[in-house]
Structure 1
Amino acid sequence: MSAAGELDEAAPLLGAPPSANMSDAADSLGKQIRTHAEPQGAWDPEGVQDRARLDESDFVTVTEDRNLKRGLHQRHVSLIAIAGAIGTGLFLGLGGSIERGGPLGALLGYATVGLIVCAVQFALGEVTALFPVTGSFVRHAEVLVDPALGFAIGYNLVYGNCLSIPAEITAICVLFQYWTDINSSLWIVIFIALTVAVGLCFIGIYGEVEFWFALLKIVFIVFLILLGLIIDLGAVSGTPRIGFRYWNHPGPFVEYIATGSWGKFLGYWAVMSNAVFSFAGTESLAMAAAETRNPRVAIPKACKRVFFRVATFYILAVLIVGMLVRSDDPRLDDGYGTAAQSPFVIAASAAGLNGVPSLVNAIVITSAWSSSNQALLSGTRVLYGLALKNQAPKIFLRTTPWGTPYLCTLFFGAFMFLAFMSLSDGALTVFWWLVDLTACGVLISWITVLTNHFRLMRAMKAQGLELKYSTPAALVMCVIILFTAGFPVFTKGNWSASDFISSYLDIPLVITAFVLWKIYKRTKIVKLVDIPLREALARAEEDIQPEPKQPGWRKVVGFLWD
């Protein structure tokens, strides 16, 4: 298969007709590159131009290529996204969604957000096929939209990850309290050390850790789905068949804030906010693109296939939970955040299966630690990318001999000690309030991914390649959800200044960072005709490597990631 064909397979354009695909783009523009010298910014395969110029380019720079190591394989990249998306949002958070929207409202909410995530993943994969750089969509924003947007989104992610990592470690401490009264400071120290150790290791070791954690979580969620189905059908001795009993009473929807059809719609809409945070993490799989082998093929393929696997797990889990647990069960909102809150545990306990709570608690602990590892990878690579573009101190470009940006890791390691705030109840309240401030950052990241893809498609049209795509619809939905995420505070009797700030503060923070960098650097929105598609497509033709054929047993075992 040709390089152009590999690129086409890796990232087929959403909704594009067969004649208007990436292969045609690569062939036609590649020929133009070879036959017409470009006076500005042309890719020079002979290496005549000054190679140092690439350190200011929009492609993989000399610094990345020299100092980072390509230790992530296709299977690592695919399961990193699954490991990040299947976590506390699935094992514990589904109960709150059922309570808020009812079984059908929750199912529709997760399905709606799943469609948005589909567009986000496809958009990320297609842009990464052209620009497989460290920092992913943060760096993409610089070349496709405006350098000021890359600066604003980059620091928004750095800020968010500085808080989310200690938050996950704090969650681990709470989960251990389900079993033991040992002082939480011990668990904090242990998991800070483990997280920093994984962050300082060779990227391939991180990939292996996340790979096996992802497999563990996949096996466990499949087990819980099958267990739930068995309980629902009455196959457990002494347990009556439940079926869709709870869809009839209390009912498929729950009225939220208002009454009647409007109240049921608000319940459904409130579920979508929870669903967004449950799916969070899938967009970070491309953060270490410059450390991935054959990234122009591996990452787009992972983006396409990971979505279907994650969406399947969530949709099936929501469906089963809605059949097992009443939406008005008070245990769904016990407020402790331990395994007792899991709807799977509630159903298993009712069926007399007493060993399930501890099993769920153990898996959720591994999920929380896996999430902290992924947040560390995402944060360090974004900070490294900012330093590459002179938007952060150059000291963060220092790497170990095995290619890890160790000063970036130590920077985030310092913020992990915020987890000790969990030892004080008052401080913990403030800490979780600060963590809530980063909640809409997920939607802002998705909006950035979709905006990058929208600009790429507009640029291809402006440069003679008209294509069809579904990004605008998903982009509009993300913006609507972003601005309505805190809608309860605007309803009568529900105003809360802290809830309003935690729901919307991230928006002015990003806007302020964008405006300040734009004024300071006098950046301009990139013209569509100036986006370097010719360089990118020509370089893609040269970079893509044919994938080796796998033996039969590898194809069977690797169905989750290949």
Structure 2
Amino acid sequence: MDLERNMTDKQSIELTHVQSTHGGEVREVEAGGGLKKNLESRHITMIALGGALGTGLLIGTGSALVEAGPAGVLIDYSIVGCVVFLVMSALGEMVSYMPLPHGFGGFATRFVDPALGFATGYVYFFKYLLAAPNQLSAFALIFQFWVGDRVSPAVFITVGLVLILIINSVNVRVFGEFEFWLSSLKIIILCGVILLMLILALGGGPTHDRTGFRYWHDPGAFVEYKLHGSVGKFVGVWSALVQAVYAFTGTELVGMTVGEAKHPRLAMPRAVKMTFFRIVFFYVLSVFFLGMVVPSNSTELVFATKSSASAAASPFVVAIKLAKIHGLDHVINGCLIVFVFSASTSDLYIATRTLHAIAVDNKAPQIFKRTSNQGVPFYALGFCALFCSLGYLSVGDGSKVVFGYLTNVVTVFGELALDQRLFSSTDTFIP
């Protein structure tokens, strides 16, 4: 194993010095771009397993349930999950073959064309440039479950912003350890929540009310969204597809860590293989059981048209409230803070590393290429941190509205980046 690892490291180093074409000229790729390879295999594995579990699944699912109904949500998450798995499999092959530090734009440049690499890099960058403030908006939205409108969302956004800046300002190994333990905690929490949803659906709650598929009949498996009849149900499913795409945002996070991974050729295949099991268990099963215990017309949902002032941000918290399990809703709402905080830290990390990768690929100002002695691209980090102030829009328009705005924008950029990565991975593989 040691011999294999040494040979793998040597091959990885050699492959970061491959030649690529840009503007008709042949140039040599700069290895690493100043980043430090301090991420262990266990960091990569856990980031791949729990890195994408965040606001999209635990909060955005409530909006999808209101718009599409339980059957519509299940269909949307299943379709998007299949597409994401195919893209991740292709991405895993490219990353294992050639672990470049240039990000997804670098792969598009290497295997297709510099123009596609430019577009892919910037679309992906814009996506996560807005994803971090979106997470901060969700951070404030969760706290409103306890404080309502008595405390300004700016307080919670400021606290979250300062903490994620500190974590991203130190050695990447600190970020890796932080994500390792938080991802482990997220997986334990979500496994417990999924098991709880199943127990409640089977009548194991305090009320002993066995809901089963009751809510699939009343108010219905599908919801008429903005239009009536079958057309309205189709529009609901199509509209909720946006939330499904957003929920899977971050699945490709593991691909951005290749520039700082110690053994990318060994760690990446293992991480990608876990994608299928994560999609089936954490995404498909969770929305399936959720549709059995929470009606799509519940006024407790924060995204419902007639939601109460104290509505919960997460539909999973609503399920606990409807089951009349006193006190547990506060515990789960507190656990959501772990998910959102982890997601906001990861989003700022991806935005920073993507901007650095674009600069390494000579498609952005070279100042963003500079790194500290610890391997942190501090100029890129500072630039991305400025856009986190968009989260303060929650102070004026309300966290619910701002979360919806930013979710739509991030999803659009995410879909564009997904299409471009899929095109890059299915193009002719010419070393």
Q: TM-score range by the shorter chain?
A: 0.7 to 0.9
- Contact 2:211 2:293 (C-alpha < 8 Å) held by counterparts: yes
2:58 counterpart residue number: 91
Task: Give the corresponding residue for 1:223.
Answer: 192
Match status 1:246 vs 2:215: yes
> Where in structure 2 are there 5+ consecutive unaligned residues?
none
Alignment of 1:389 onto 2:361 = yes
Alpha-carbon offset, residue 430 of structure 1: 7.5
Quote how far apart the aligned CAs of 1:291 are.
0.5
Q: Determine whether 1:400 maps to 2:367.
A: no
Among 30, 35, 58, the residue aligned to 1:68: 35
User: Does the Cα contact within 8 Å between 1:161 and 1:376 map onto a contact in 2?
Assistant: yes
Post-superposition Cα deviations, 1:244-286, rounded to whole Å, max 9, x if no partner, equal 2222333322333444444433333333222111111101211
Cα distance in 2 for partners of 1:308, 1:110 equals 14
CA distance 1:58–1:163, change in 2 (3 Å): farther
| Distance change in 2, residues 1:321/1:412 (3 Å) | same
Q: TM-score, normalised by structure 1?
A: 0.67
CA distance in structure 2 between the partners assigned to 1:95 and 1:130 by the alignment = 39
Tell me the CA shift for residue 346 of structure 1.
Answer: 2.3
Match of 1:80 in 2: 47
| Contact 1:339-1:358 within 8 A present in 2 as well | no
- 2:279 and 2:146 map into 1 onto residues whose CA distance is 30
CA separation in 1, counterparts of 2:18 and 2:112?
24
Instruction: Sort the Cα spacing of 1:153 and 1:215 in 2 relative to 1 into closer, same or farther, 3 A.
Output: same
Q: Displacement, 1:102?
A: 2.2
The aligned residue for residue 546 of structure 1 is: none
Q: 1:104 to 1:72 in 2, by over 3 A?
A: same
In 2 relative to 1, CA 106–407 (structure 1 residues): closer, same or farther, beyond 3 Å?
A: same
Alpha carbons of structure 1 residues 234 and 58: separation in structure 2 relative to 1, 3 Å: farther
Distance 1:328 1:426 in 2: 22
2:268 paired with 1:296: no
Q: Distance in 2 between matches of 1:247 and 1:428?
A: 27
Number of aligned residues: 418
Compared CA separation, residues 53 and 223, structure 1 to 2 (3 A): closer
Which of 221, 237, 243 is the matching residue for 1:268? Answer: 237
Asked if structure 1 preserves the Cα contact closer than 8 Å seen for 2:219 and 2:295, the reply is yes
CA deviations 1:397-422 (Å, max 9, x no partner) are 22121211121111112222333333
Equivalent-residue separation in structure 2 for 1:91 and 1:403 (angstroms)? 33
2:391 to 413, 419, 429: 419
Superposed counterparts of 1:388-537, under 5 Å:
388-425=360-397, 433=405, 436-455=408-427, 458-459=428-429, 531=430, 533=431
- 5 Å-filtered alignment, 1:34-53, equals none
Match of residue 81 from structure 2: 114
Q: 1:55 to 1:329 in 2, by over 3 A?
A: same
Distance 1:100 1:175 in 2: 21
Work out whether residues 99 and 328 of structure 1, in 8 Å CA contact, stay in contact via their aligned partners in 2. yes
What does residue 119 of structure 2 align with?
152
Native 8 Å contact 2:137 2:403 kept in 1: no
- The answer to whether structure 1 residue 305 and structure 2 residue 274 are counterparts is yes
Give deviations 1:447-498, integer Å, cap 9, x for gaps.
Answer: 122111111xx23xxxxxxxxxxxxxxxxxxxxxxxxxxxxxxxxxxxxxxx
Deviation at 1:315, TM superposition (A): 1.1
Kindly tell me: are residues 183 and 104 of structure 1, through their superposed partners in 2, closer, same or farther at Cα, counting changes over 3 Å?
closer
Cα distance between partner residues in 2 of 1:182 and 1:220: 28
Q: 1:338 to 1:53 in 2, by over 3 A?
A: farther
SS of the residue 1:249 aligns to: helix
Report what 1:127 is aligned to: 94
Give how far 1:432 is off. Answer: 6.2
The CA RMSD measured in Å over matched residues stands at 3.2
Q: Tell whether 2:201 aligns with 1:237.
A: no
Q: Is 1:139 aligned to 2:111, yes or no?
A: no
Once residues 202 and 32 of structure 2 are traced to their aligned partners in structure 1, the CA distance between those partners, rounded to angstroms, is: 59
Whether the 8 Å CA contact 2:71–2:291 is kept in 1: the answer is yes
Residue 368, structure 1, aligned to residue 319, structure 2: no
Q: Tell me: CA distance 1:427–1:96, structure 2 relative to 1, closer, same or farther (3 Å).
A: closer
The AA in structure 1 aligned to 2:282 is F
Give the 3 Å change call, closer, same or farther, for CA 82–145 of structure 1 in structure 2. same
Superposition deviation, residue 383 in structure 1:
1.0
2:48 counterpart letter in structure 1: A
TM-score normalised over the length of structure 2: 0.86
Report if aligned partners of 2:131, 2:406 keep a CA contact under 8 Å in 1: no
Query: Conserved in 2, the CA contact under 8 Å of 1:101 and 1:264?
Result: yes
**2:309 & 2:258 partners in 1: Cα distance?**
34
1:429 Cα deviation from its structure 2 partner:
6.0
Unaligned runs of 5+ in 1: 8-29, 31-42, 460-530, 534-562
Partner amino acid, structure 1, of 2:378: Y
Q: Per the alignment, in what secondary structure is the counterpart of residue 390 of structure 1?
A: coil
Give 1:289 shift. Answer: 0.7
Q: Is residue 131 of structure 2 the alignment partner of residue 164 of structure 1?
A: yes
SS at match of 1:282: coil
Larger Rg: 1
Q: Secondary structure in 2 aligned to 1:234?
A: coil
Report the Cα distance in structure 1 between the residues aligned to 2:308 and 2:154, rounded to whole angstroms. 19
**Secondary structure of the equivalent of 1:189?**
helix
Task: Specify the code of the residue in structure 1 equivalent to 2:369.
Answer: L
